[in-house]
Structure 1
Amino acid sequence: MALEEGQVYVVTGGCGFLGSHLVRMLVERGNNLSEIRVFDLHMDETLGTLGNDRVKVKLVRGDISSYDDVRGVLSGSHLVIHTASLVDVWGRVPPSKITEVNVTGTENVLRACEEEGIQYLVYTSSMEVVGPNIHGDPFFRGNEETEYTVYHNQAYPLSKSKAEKIVLEANGRKVKDGKTLHTCSLRPTGIYGEGHALMKEFYEQGLRMGRRVFRVIPTATEHGRVYVGNVAWMHLLAARQLQERPSALGGQVYFCYDDSPYKSYMDFNMEFLTSCSFRMIGSRPLIPYFLLYMIALLNVALQWLLHPFCVYAPILNPYTLSVASTTFTVQTDKAERHFGYRPLFSWEESKQHTIEWVKGFEQNGKDR
């Protein structure tokens, strides 16, 4: 089925890390589009300047947890890419707020699709729908069909798991005017690239330590990482093919992957931080795991004690320690088989783009 020309896409969370890259990708390569609506609570006005004679970029401020806001922005659109999500595994926001944004927000999108007769929805899920689980069971070179014991006890993975479930269950649902809703879900592993807030935190933390990063995770631990530009590219292809081949993509889940190397989070981050003269201290973990776990538990206790006075949310807690210490890598070609995905950016290109962005921190520091 040929794609209809002059389509209107809605990108929820369009001013976020992934969302902003996706909007730029759609402007550059979304040839059948006439309008991209960027829906977010916090606006990035620079995205509004990306429009051209072919495609209009419209910024719409709104709250994903407000049904009226969601229905208003979806009205008259052809397809929704639902990236809006509240990511928090540190205790910076209440669990109820995470559920409100991630679950209620997704329910609002599905309800608006039904009442506005929108037939296509691409959902941005997360690897944490699967794991790593809190028992530390490895997921080694797994694919979408690999059996794995899923066990969540944190609001973020619980909310993403529930949201993905209702998105997939909505596939095939009848919407306004007797049309059929088609949905699919994309599960990025750890996304990196320009604009990644956590990478900037690691950079600033390393500066405080004299440009030194002390090894705490064994080199044998591996994680799958994927460049943000390739995640955006996969979303664009999925959006096209969901329309052209709804019976093939509808109800399916896909890991987002590329050619980025399998390394621990620490070693992977050093691929970029070494460009700023950072160095890793230690070939083995300098702090035993049990001591790290005790520190993580202490952080939880301090968080509880300080809650009435301030938000204490350090990066290290039992959940983040478990994730960082557990091998979780994917090896799959499902997206390639189903809709022709191949990475748009090579590892060398992805690395260079990220390094150039990280080096910008250095220049910004000198300008202050």
Structure 2
Amino acid sequence: MTVAGMRCLVTGASGFLGHRIVRLLLEEEEGLDEICLMDKTLSADLLRTREEFQGKASVKLLRGDIRDEEFLQQCCRGVDLVIHTAAIIDTVGKINKETLMAINVTGTERLLEACVRNNVRYFIYTSSVEVVGPNTRGDPITDGHEEQLYDSNLSFSYGQSKRLAEQKVLKANGRALKDGGTLVTCSLRPMYIYGEGSQFLELHLDQAILNGGVFLRQSRKEALVNPVYVGNVAWAHVQAARAMRDPDKAQEIGGNFYYISDDTPHLSYSDFNHVLGQELGLGVESRPALPYPLLYYVALLLEVLSFLAKPFVRFVPPFTRHLVVLLNTHFTFSYRKARKDLGYEPRYGWEEARRLTTAWIAEALPRRREQLNKSKRF
């Protein structure tokens, strides 16, 4: 199966993942009728991609806000497939909860309504492993799967917003469309996504530069996670879109979520950063600055200070209890179900993913050093 002859809408098309999905669709899908690229801002990289593939498929640019109902109605007219990646990602509480919920949850609701009104048949939602946890106790998971029960008592707004949005997407599966058809939905839950252009990798790189070329030790060695390469997450979306076109597969896939990982080694977050940067001479601290229990209570103190200061000044803690738990909990998942139902197989092996990411870090290093030096001078 392919998506040939379909009109596809990608939300968040300028984003780290959205842009990779757009590129893969244009590279791999012969006969794609049209691809609509929606985002609040359209990046220079996205515009270059449009020019690069000019003539292969019709590419339509749609600039607007996911919360704008009229805009969403326009975006969904004549569309067969929606790949919804647009979201605010916030790991430390910089964005207020109202804004997070309005964009991640209400925006998704309004997009689903626009799909129903405009007879969009297929809807793929980009979720996150954070919709399941880790929970506030830091209960570990090893080789997790979709049928596994876990006490996901989420305390952080980002994970809550993604879980609520995912629930609305899965509940919408089977909704009647205006033309008598039905909506088929599914959700993909990628692990921590790395690769060229990752803002999180840039943040860690800046910290390493300021720390004399050594990555900070923010996670315990034994807290293993399984990051996933951005190209493989994008490929999983393409594979899901293809599978959904098969009526029998659509029955199996509809209303379900899938964990998306690949063959990246299981390492702690800090050790993973080191693996990506070690051939460039970047090291990693041997131990955290503070023992885990003490770090957790420092985060609690910072959160209390933030709450007390709220009437007078906005203070965003540099880290939270949620982030401390996230970085220090063993949390790994399998992609077996995605392989079985979606036909997903990683497109990029670990060595290629590492090489591409390390090459991007090597290119970014001089630029980041220069920018940090400039900021010091001012």
Distance 2:210 2:3 in 1: 53
The counterpart of 1:162, out of the listed 161, 164, 186, is: 164
Distance 2:306 2:348 in 1: 40
Distance 1:200 1:303 in 2: 26
Q: Is 1:232 aligned to residue 234 of structure 2?
A: yes
CA contact (8 A) 2:209 2:369 kept: no
User: Which has the higher mean CA deviation after the structures are superposed, 6-15 or 42-51?
Assistant: 42-51
Cα displacement (A) at 1:363: 3.3
The counterpart of 1:190, out of the listed 186, 189, 192, is: 192
For normalisation by structure 1, the TM-score amounts to 0.94
Equivalenced residues, count? 366
Q: Describe how 1:278-297 pairs up with structure 2 within 5 A.
A: 278-282=282-286, 284-297=287-300
Measured against aligned partners, the alpha-carbon deviations of 1:126-172 in whole angstroms (never above 9, x if no partner) come to 11111111111001111111111111122111111111111111111
Partner of 2:23: 24
Measured against aligned partners, the alpha-carbon deviations of 1:233-280 in whole angstroms (never above 9, x if no partner) come to 000010111112311211111101100011111111111222332212
Partner of 1:76: 78
The counterpart of 1:85, out of the listed 76, 84, 87, is: 87
Distance 1:172 1:126 in 2: 23
Partner of 2:180: 178
Distance 1:223 1:366 in 2: 29
Distance 1:365 1:212 in 2: 14
The counterpart of 2:100, out of the listed 98, 103, 106, is: 98
The counterpart of 1:271, out of the listed 269, 275, 290, is: 275
Partner of 2:376: none
Instruction: Give the partner amino acid of 1:290.
Output: P
Distance 2:152 2:83 in 1: 26
Cα displacement (A) at 1:213: 2.8
Partner of 2:329: 326
CA distance 1:252–1:46, shift in 2 (3 Å): same
Q: Is 1:256 aligned to residue 264 of structure 2?
A: no
Distance 1:47 1:56 in 2: 14
CA contact (8 A) 2:2 2:29 kept: no
Cα displacement (A) at 1:308: 6.0
Distance 2:320 2:76 in 1: 38
DSSP-derived class of the 1:25 partner: helix
Distance 1:16 1:26 in 2: 15
Cα displacement (A) at 1:30: 1.9
Distance 1:308 1:354 in 2: 43
Distance 1:110 1:273 in 2: 41
Backbone CA RMSD of aligned residues: 1.8
Instruction: Give the partner amino acid of 2:284.
Output: M
User: Which has the higher mean CA deviation after the structures are superposed, 27-36 or 15-24?
Assistant: 27-36
User: Which has the higher mean CA deviation after the structures are superposed, 160-169 or 225-234?
Assistant: 160-169
Q: Describe how 1:212-223 pairs up with structure 2 within 5 A.
A: 212-223=214-225
Q: Which runs of 5+ in 2 are unaligned?
A: 372-378
The counterpart of 1:243, out of the listed 229, 240, 245, is: 245
Partner of 2:8: 9
The counterpart of 2:353, out of the listed 322, 326, 350, is: 350
Distance 1:329 1:53 in 2: 42
Distance 1:271 1:3 in 2: 36
Partner of 1:67: 69
Partner of 1:336: 339
For normalisation by structure 2, the TM-score amounts to 0.92
Instruction: Give the partner amino acid of 1:69.
Output: F
Measured against aligned partners, the alpha-carbon deviations of 1:17-76 in whole angstroms (never above 9, x if no partner) come to 110111111110122312211111121133233332221222211100111111111111
Distance 1:366 1:210 in 2: 11
Measured against aligned partners, the alpha-carbon deviations of 1:333-353 in whole angstroms (never above 9, x if no partner) come to 111111211100000000011
Q: Which runs of 5+ in 1 are unaligned?
A: none
Cα displacement (A) at 1:304: 3.4
Partner of 2:141: 139
Cα displacement (A) at 1:204: 0.5
DSSP-derived class of the 1:33 partner: coil
Cα displacement (A) at 1:311: 5.1
Cα displacement (A) at 1:217: 2.5
User: Which has the higher mean CA deviation after the structures are superposed, 53-62 or 139-148?
Assistant: 53-62
